[in-house]
C-alpha cells in the first residue's frame, strides 16, 4: 500500500491522540467504533424523545376535555404578601392569595399581632419566595403596609336567619298569577 493510501485510511477511521499525528492503534480504532455506535444510539433516543414530545404536544392541543376558556381562566398572579404565584384576587383591598387573606382576617379579629420578629428584627421580610415562611409578626406588618383594610374583614361562619324569621310578606308563586303565599 502506498503511503498516501495508508494516510487516507488512517485518517478516515483513526482517533487523534492530542497531537498532529493520527492514531492507528487497534485500541483507539475499537474505541472509535464503540463511540460512534453509542453516539448513533443516543441520537436515536433523542429523535424518539423529540417525536414523543411532539405527539404529546399535539394531543394537548387537540384535547377537548376541561380546557379553560379565556373568559373563565384566571392567570396565576403574585400575592403581594407572600409573593407566591397563586390564584390571587383582591382581598381586603390588596391583591393577595386566600391564605394571606384568611391570615389577615383571623389576626384582625384577634386585634392584630404584637409579637416581635422571630428572625432578628424583620430579617424575614427580605426572604425570597420559596424560602422560609415569614414569621407572624412580619407577615402582619406586610399585610398592613400593603394596604389591607381592617374594616373590610367580615365574619366567617355567621348563619343566615331562617326563612321563618324573615319578614318577607307575601310572595307570588308564579309571576303574573293571582296565587300568593301568605
Tell whether 48 is covered by a domain: yes
Q: Which domain does 111 fall in, by range?
A: 97-152
* b/e burial code for range 45-79 (CB count within 10 A of at least 16 → b): eeeeeeeeeeeeeeeeeeeeeeeeeeeeeeeeeeb
Tell whether 126 is covered by a domain: yes
Tell whether 9 is covered by a domain: no
What average pLDDT score do residues 162-171 get?
46
Q: Are residues 146 and 102 in the same domain?
A: yes
Please state the domain count of the chain.
2
pLDDT digits (tens, 9 = 90+) for 1-14: 444 444 444 444 44
Residue 80 has pLDDT above 70, yes or no: yes
Tell whether 148 is covered by a domain: yes
Of 42, 61, 80, which residue constitutes the final position of a domain? 61
Tell whether 132 is covered by a domain: yes
Instruction: Write down the pLDDT at residue 156.
Output: 53
Tell whether 146 is covered by a domain: yes
Rg for the chain, CA atoms, rounded: 36
pLDDT digits (tens, 9 = 90+) for 85-120: 777 888 888 888 888 888 888 888 887 777 777 776
Of 12, 44, 61, which residue constitutes the final position of a domain? 61
Amino acid at each position: 500500500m502506498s503511503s498516501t493510501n495508508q494516510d487516507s485510511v488512517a485518517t478516515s477511521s483513526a482517533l487523534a491522540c492530542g497531537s498532529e499525528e493520527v492514531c492507528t492503534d487497534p485500541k483507539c480504532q475499537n474505541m472509535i467504533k464503540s463511540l460512534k455506535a453509542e453516539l448513533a444510539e443516543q441520537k436515536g433516543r433523542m429523535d424518539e424523545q423529540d417525536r414523543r414530545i411532539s405527539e404529546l404536544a399535539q394531543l394537548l392541543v387537540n384535547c377537548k376535555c376541561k380546557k379553560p376558556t379565556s373568559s373563565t381562566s384566571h392567570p396565576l398572579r403574585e400575592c403581594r404578601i407572600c409573593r407566591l404565584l397563586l390564584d390571587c384576587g383582591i382581598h381586603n383591598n390588596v391583591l393577595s392569595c386566600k391564605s394571606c387573606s384568611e391570615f389577615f382576617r383571623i389576626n384582625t379579629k384577634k386585634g392584630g399581632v404584637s409579637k416581635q420578629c422571630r428572625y432578628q428584627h424583620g430579617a424575614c421580610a427580605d426572604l425570597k419566595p420559596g424560602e422560609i415562611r415569614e414569621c407572624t409578626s412580619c407577615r402582619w406588618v406586610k399585610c398592613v403596609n400593603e394596604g389591607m383594610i381592617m374594616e373590610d374583614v367580615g365574619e366567617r361562619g355567621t348563619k343566615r336567619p331562617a326563612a321563618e324569621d324573615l319578614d318577607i310578606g307575601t310572595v307570588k308563586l308564579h309571576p303574573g298569577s293571582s296565587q300568593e303565599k301568605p
